[in-house]
Structure 1
């Protein structure tokens, strides 16, 4: 009985398909031992055997006498259902193995046959329901292959059946059990895409297994991911996943676990962690359970003792999820894997990576304001000490062997010391770590950072053992940087000088009895000067001069020099001049000292002081006094650079006062005295201005020629050439102007506006010189330049091109009007027509530009061409041999030929005249009105009547 019950339960599970189908790690599926405990049907729902027998006997008797097919089908349906119920009870009560459902199978089969013959539902029951019942009977009888065939028929013949979801699920499970995973995948997919929510999740899960069995791991991952999406979909972030797992219950939680396990297997068969990224890309957005995939895969590799793969999986998560809350624990897992796998060479780099990712310098730390968890913080404390000690020991060992390698090792040790100090500022070891940091930085050649660390030891921690030496080192280090690292940015040099000064002042205040104090103070004064702290430099220099016991002479000399420079910079120019005189007095004794200025340099400073006095006069608006002071510099110190600049500036101020003649003399003198000076190259532009204001056009043009020849700036050369042409034209030098304009038009096609203006100037100059062919050439060139301009065309270029086209069209118009119609008329008319076409084409080209001024003129001329042709026809020679009648007929014929042209002329002139309605009333429109007055005098040759209007009130 137990064996029979087991078979019934198996059949029931295959038909209903409502439970989750889980597979083991080997993919063979669960056994009978995994099935839930069997439950018998509710006895209250049974039908009494006696009642069923009586009903069946009634239906059998009715069936024996029924002739009508429809009635017979109705009876068969009732009998088949009764037989189905009888067979189910018999199977439950049986103690042996045999077939119980032959009768209902036969009856449902007959019903299907009858329905196919009648093509109508049996007693209102459709074929899909009959096939469903038939398949159920076959399945309960263990005839699974036959049941599968019936389900296939149902699926093929009734795709929209309400039983389709369960049918496809049964077909899928049959295919899966038979090892036909491709068919199983298709049928599970049909359930997934159907409208049966209660089967969809099971089908999705099993579709993934079918794909897994087919080794289609990519598709399997997508299916399993959808299962997780359904189960964990309410988790918006990874941190919410655990709460969702607790809420969904043990059964679904186990399904999540099984799904992750098979996904881990799939990923291991693909590209591991890379496939997780591919999966996320395929899904379109990152899932909150992503970290679980990495965790599952990493653990799987670890269980398989694939340590490298396991570590790389955790690393891959960290690399692609650096900001995740799980990132630190995954990084620790990497280190744990290396330790378990006994990879000592990888442990230290892994710890280094951990510190760099989650330490105080990391964005991870910054974004969380240091709140990274106690476990991670403790790991940082331990790792930083281990890394610093290891690198420091390595550096000490390398120091005697390889200096460059040792420096790099010291730098690495300093990095970890610094991070320890920054991370654990209140730690008991911080003072010692700071000193070790300074030592390592110094050995590594990072002097700025070492200086800062020494400052902290000397003046922050006030370390009694190392404070004095650390303080003096903080002065020496910036000096070394200033002397040996001039190639670095100036702002860093200024910072080091400033730090050196402050450290020197601190040293002098804290260690007053130290014999190095006065020397440090004198150097601080010089450094203050270099940092432009002139007020402080003056105070310190005066302090050194007044130092007791008196400082030695070289310190006094440098202090006087510092005092002079500082006074100059604070605009005490007279006092600065006096200080420089003190320096000149001491130069014979101390002028040979390193860094001492030369006589020439001191003279330059004196000249600069005078120059600044001139600047002060300018500030007060006294330009005359300023000019006199500037010219005095050229007399007192003519060999200084300032003298040249002073004379140049004097010319500038004369120009500002519009003293053109004096400015001309100053600059001509400058050009003669300083022919090789850099400022000499700038004189042509100023001389142009001076000459222009004196109406010396040719001299100004000559200066522009010099500018165009000597300048390396393309824009200056171009502008000088054009402006020079204008000035030559203005001075009456037509040949030079033509040459300049021609060069400009040839060499500078852009900008288009200037190029066209140059060409226009050439046409005007050639008009004046009477060189018609050259004028026509440039007129045509204007047209060509405009046509080639493309998007650079402007209203001005269009106007110039239209003007040029109008002028070039005039000869064709004139030629047409000059041709008379003589005998033989055919020949002269042929020439006339050819001239007409040429003239019309030329005028139409003018119209194409759409410029009103030329459009109205061209329209007038086109009208006149037709009017002229009409007039010429009427004025043509008549054959002499015609008698009076023939001549009259000839006249009529001519009028018939001339009339259309006159009408065409009237039409064109009227259209042109109508432009006045829109506000255009230029010469072309006026001339069309005049032409119409002659052509249609009754309409257009009327006298205007003026009506007087009175505004008086009557």
Structure 2
């Protein structure tokens, strides 16, 4: 094929894209990188001045003259290139103006070849006269002059010598076009592919399209399909899901639509040459699913149909459905398949296909479920038509078999029922539904499926209230349900279930057809059966109907009805209604005492008591505690000796406590304990009385109740805790002897846990201190010290604190004893006594320090310092011998001072250490007193006026 015009292409789309790019491709002076900012400032032209018309001949003549004068080879090439371009432009214009197809490009061809020869000879590139550009222009000139082979040769040279040239995309495309026209499809495929792989090339899509054609021409249909699939991907890139494809197609240009139609057509041909629909599956396995998959199947199916290959067409549509069962297009493809069967005259396949259609898209299908029944108008209409046809066909078949083959007839009736049922379920508002439902019931009954037949009859009798068949349908239900309840084939549990259903049906029949003479008897029987089946609300409703019958029912029926109403109301948690009904039963009981199964009067009173109790519980749920308490206490008026009455009174006390009605709760539990002294609940009353008395500040009474608990309980923890709490309450009530007795018992009987025992010992020391019994107080103080010492793993901060407190108090006596021991003559003997007192005092204070309790550590530290200071002072104040002269006395004083000074220094050190605690945030009275002592002992350092640092907390 000769290319007469350089811009002629194999498709309109390709021609358009090249025309858009042509100005850039063939402009020798194109510039890249310019922006709007690079343009000069705009100015209005002078209206008087006119633009001179450029005379190309004069310009060319100027270039010719310059060429004659130029000696520089490079400059000569540049001028020659300009002349060649002028000749090219002149040739193009001449060709456009000509009426024949002669040769017009000889001059530019000769010039371009001369320039190429110069470039090849010199081997030196010249700006604006690049070799690849010259070959490209030569190929263009040859092509436009209809010298296709020479143009192809020029392009081959360009591809060979400048593979990185900017003209390679166009070059390869031209080479591909030439190869395709020559029938060299392998070479064409290669060249098209090199262009198609460059996504930035404006010819990329056309190259990809032609690559597919080259592969198709070579009968490599698998590769061709992949190439065409990529073309389709690009054309339909806006479609993100199958439903978008139609809209994406509408947005294509005319040329793009043509390319798309051609693409799908050649793909269909390729599929048909391979394995048909299976090839579509294989393609998607290779490349992944495509949003336009349905178009591939549709086009292939239509292609087969046009060729009257009906089986292949139907199989294609079927393949789509099987591989895309939930697609929005699946119903349409199924309809197309059935339509092909009809066109191809395959009657044996039509009925199964319609059955399959219903199964795939009917109300019980996954397709229907996932769409909530929204499957499209056309699909729904076809479903409506198919269901009617299938049901009518099977019903007619069953009726024909009824006279000859009963077993086959039952099967056929079952198939008819299937289609009737599906029609009714699918189209619940269809006008034909009453008739279709009755036919369904008849078919089910004939097929032996009584449960389903009952359901269908029920719709006819009570939902549609069909005038023609309603009564018969209702009666049929009762008969069939009785057959199921008494049948031998069912297990007992199943029979019981059917008995329950039979009750329902009988009741419904009696209520639906009240004029029936059996209505009253059916109601009475139904009420008792409902109660037995624990259907309490229904039983109560039926019982009330019997009670309210006009004229009234006979007495036995009324008695039974009140009893059923009472039991049903109670079990249904309508306890007020139950109480009312039971009172009626109690009133009617004498006349019906001989009735089989009638309760006794005591039993009815217990049922009344239970009803009242449950009413109280309901009040509690609603937080109506006052009403609940009244009801709980009222039970004793109805049945005082019943367990319910006892529990009701006990619970009333609990709720009075919750409401903090202490006095009322106290009276309830006192009377309860008096009336039921041996009842098992009585044992728990002391704990409640403790709470009641405590909240009334009746500490002694609360303590007495705890004593009862301590004596009566078998739980060691309860006994221990009761004893401890009782001691506290006796102490709180002011009964010190009882408090001491309880604390002593606790401390002696429960030495473990240590902390609790020490608390008791602490209270004992406190109480004996209040009674000024020093000896016993010191005994319990020492017990606290000993208990902590032996606590082991049970030692805690609290036990250490209590022990430290006791040790601190025990250290008071040696401290005071030391302070009161005088230094008298003879000094040696009194000093020995003082020293012994000192040792005891220091030992006692050091014992306090050993606990490390800050509250007592500062006091002990102060006292140790004070002891040394006191010793120093006492030495200096001690009596002087009377037989010393002045010099000897002075010497004596110096000796005393030497003895006293170390003790004073020791005192200073200890007080300083105690005072230092203030830097750690500890500043109590003992730290303060250490400072005061230091002011006396070192006045120059510590006796200074206090300076107050004013600090502002104001935010700057």
8 Å CA contact 2:318, 2:337 repeated in 1? yes
* Counterpart position of 1:471: 474
Alpha-carbon offset, residue 110 of structure 1: 1.8
Q: Matched residues in 1 for 2:927 and 2:121: separation?
A: 99
Tell me the equivalent position of 2:336. 333
Alignment correspondent of 1:757: none
Cα distance in 2, alignment partners of residues 506 and 220 from structure 1: 73
Q: Following the alignment from structure 2 to structure 1, what is the Cα–Cα distance between the partners of residues 411 and 462? A: 27
Distance 1:478 1:405 in 2: 22
Q: Does 1:147 align with 2:152?
A: no
Cα separation, 1, equivalents of 2:14 and 2:287: 28
Aligned position for 2:522: 520
**Distance in 1 between residues matched to 2:499 and 2:685, nearest whole Å:** 38
1:129 is aligned to 133
**Structure-2 change in CA distance of 1:601 and 1:172 (3 Å):** farther
Other structure's SS at 2:546 match: helix
Residue 431 of structure 2 corresponds to which residue in structure 1?
425
Contact (CA 8 Å) 1:84, 1:137: kept in 2 or not? yes
- The partner residue of 2:592 within 586, 590, 594 is 586
In the other structure, the counterpart of 1:188 is 196
Match in the other structure for 2:635: 630
Q: Are 1:257 and 2:264 counterparts?
A: no
Q: Which position in structure 1 is the counterpart of 2:281?
A: 271
Partners of 1:101 and 1:137 within 8 A in 2? yes
Q: Does the CA contact (< 8 Å) of 1:455 and 1:474 recur in 2? A: no
8 Å contact from structure 2 (residues 159, 168) kept in 1:
no
Q: 1-side partners of 2:341 and 2:393: how far apart? A: 21
Following superposition, the deviation at residue 467 of structure 1 comes to: 2.6
| 3-state SS in 2 of match to 1:445 | helix
Give, in whole Å, the separation in 2 of the partners of 1:150 and 1:116.
15
Q: Distance in 2 between matches of 1:647 and 1:926?
A: 64
Q: Is the CA contact (8 Å cut-off) linking 1:497 and 1:527 kept in structure 2?
A: yes
The structural deviation recorded for 1:507 is: 0.9
Q: Is the 8 A contact 2:754 2:795 kept in 1?
A: no
Instruction: Work out the CA distance in 2 between the residues paired with 1:318 and 1:152.
Output: 53
Whether the aligned pair in 2 keeps the contact of 1:486 and 1:493 (CA below 8 Å) is no
Deviation track 1:75-95 (CA, whole Å, cap 9, x = no partner) reads 543675688799999999899
Confirm whether residue 577 of structure 1 aligns to residue 587 of structure 2: no
Q: State the match for 1:608 in structure 2.
A: 610
8 Å contact kept, 2:361–2:367: no
Change (3 A) 1:453 1:366: same
Label 1:937 to 1:449 Cα distance change in 2 as closer, same or farther (>3 A): farther
| 1:169 is aligned to 2:177 | no
How do 1:138-537 and structure 2 match up within 5 A? Answer: 140-143=147-150, 144=152, 147-156=155-164, 158=165, 161=166, 163=167, 165-170=169-174, 177-179=185-187, 181=189, 184-190=192-198, 192-194=199-201, 196=202, 199-206=203-210, 215=222, 220=227, 223-229=230-236, 237-238=244-245, 240=247, 243-244=250-251, 248-249=253-254, 251-261=255-265, 268-269=278-279, 271=281, 275=285, 278-280=288-290, 289=292, 291-296=294-299, 299=302, 305=312, 308=315, 310-319=317-326, 321=327, 324=328, 326-336=329-339, 343=349, 345=352, 347-356=354-363, 364=371, 367=374, 372-373=376-377, 376-387=380-391, 390=394, 412-413=418-419, 415-419=421-425, 422-425=428-431, 429-430=435-436, 432-433=438-439, 435-436=441-442, 439=445, 443=449, 445-446=451-452, 449-450=455-456, 452-456=458-462, 460-463=465-468, 466-473=469-476, 501=507, 503-508=509-514, 512=515, 514-523=516-525, 530-532=535-537, 537=542
Deviation, structure 1 residue 650:
5.2
Deviation, 1:377, is 1.4
Equivalent-residue separation in structure 2 for 1:449 and 1:366 (angstroms): 23
Deviation track 1:698-726 (CA, whole Å, cap 9, x = no partner) reads: 87799999699xxxxxxxxxxx9999999
User: C-alpha displacement at 1:422, in angstroms?
Assistant: 1.1
Alpha-carbon distance in 2 for matches of 1:617, 1:691: 27
1:661-700 alignment runs, 5 A limit: 663=669, 666=672, 694-695=702-703, 696=705
Post-superposition Cα deviations, 1:358-416, rounded to whole Å, max 9, x if no partner, equal 99975657558xxx436741542332451586499789999987999999868745632
Question: Deviations for 1:203-244, whole angstroms, at most 9, x for unmatched residues?
Answer: 453466689869568964662244323698999945546755
- CA-atom RMSD, angstroms? 7.0
The Cα of 1:634 is off from its aligned counterpart by 6.1
1:236-292 residue CA offsets vs partner (Å, 9 max, x unmatched): 9455467557xx43x433311122345565885463596599445xxxxxx5x5643
Distance 1:77 1:690 in 2: 121
SS at match of 1:532: helix
Secondary structure of the corresponding residue to residue 356 of structure 1: coil
Q: Which residue of 2 aligns with 1:819?
A: none
Contact 1:767 1:775 in 2 (8 A): no
Deviation at 1:942, TM superposition (A): 3.0
Aligned residues of 1:172 and 1:184 also touching (Cα < 8 A): yes
Q: Output the CA distance in 1 between the equivalents of 2:289 and 2:561.
A: 75
Which residue in the other structure is 1:120 paired with? 126
- Cα distance, 1:453 vs. partner? 1.0
After TM superposition, give the deviation of residue 664 of structure 1 in Å: 7.5
Contact 1:438 1:453 in 2 (8 A): no
Distance 1:766 1:173 in 2: 118
Q: Is the 8 A contact 1:387 1:413 kept in 2?
A: yes
Distance 1:392 1:769 in 2: 108
Does structure 2 conserve the Cα–Cα contact (< 8 Å) formed by 1:687 and 1:700? no
Residue 76 (structure 2) aligns with: 72
Measured in 2, the distance between the counterparts of 1:404 and 1:702 equals 84
State the distance in 1 between where 2:281 and 2:708 align.
Answer: 83
Q: 1:469 to 1:739 in 2, by over 3 A?
A: farther
Deviations 1:911-954 (A, max 9, x none): 867xxxxxx9999999999999999987995335899xxxxxxx
Check whether the contact 1:525–1:540 (CA below 8 A) recurs between aligned residues: no
Partner of residue 545, structure 2: 540
Does structure 1 conserve the Cα–Cα contact (< 8 Å) formed by 2:360 and 2:367?
no
Q: TM-score, normalised by structure 1?
A: 0.55
Check the 8 A contact 2:331/2:361 in 1, yes or no. Answer: yes
CA separation of 1:404 and 1:935: change in aligned 2, threshold 3 A: farther
- C-alpha change, 1:622 and 1:776, in structure 2 (3 Å) is same
Q: Distance in 1 between matches of 2:755 and 2:492?
A: 53
Q: CA deviation at 1:518?
A: 2.2
| Cα deviation code 1:880-915 (max 9, x no counterpart) | xxxxxxxxxxxxxxxxxxxxxxxxx99x999867xx
1:301–1:310 Cα contact (<8 Å) kept: no
Residues 98-142 of structure 1 deviation map (CA, whole Å, 9 limit, x = unaligned): x9998456424224336742x432xx4444422312444676451
CA contact (8 A) 2:609 2:639 kept: no
Q: Where do 1:884-895 residues align within 5 Å?
A: none
**Long gaps (5+) in structure 1:** 1-5, 23-50, 281-286, 709-719, 743-764, 783-799, 808-845, 847-852, 865-904, 914-919, 948-954
Aligned to 1:652: 654
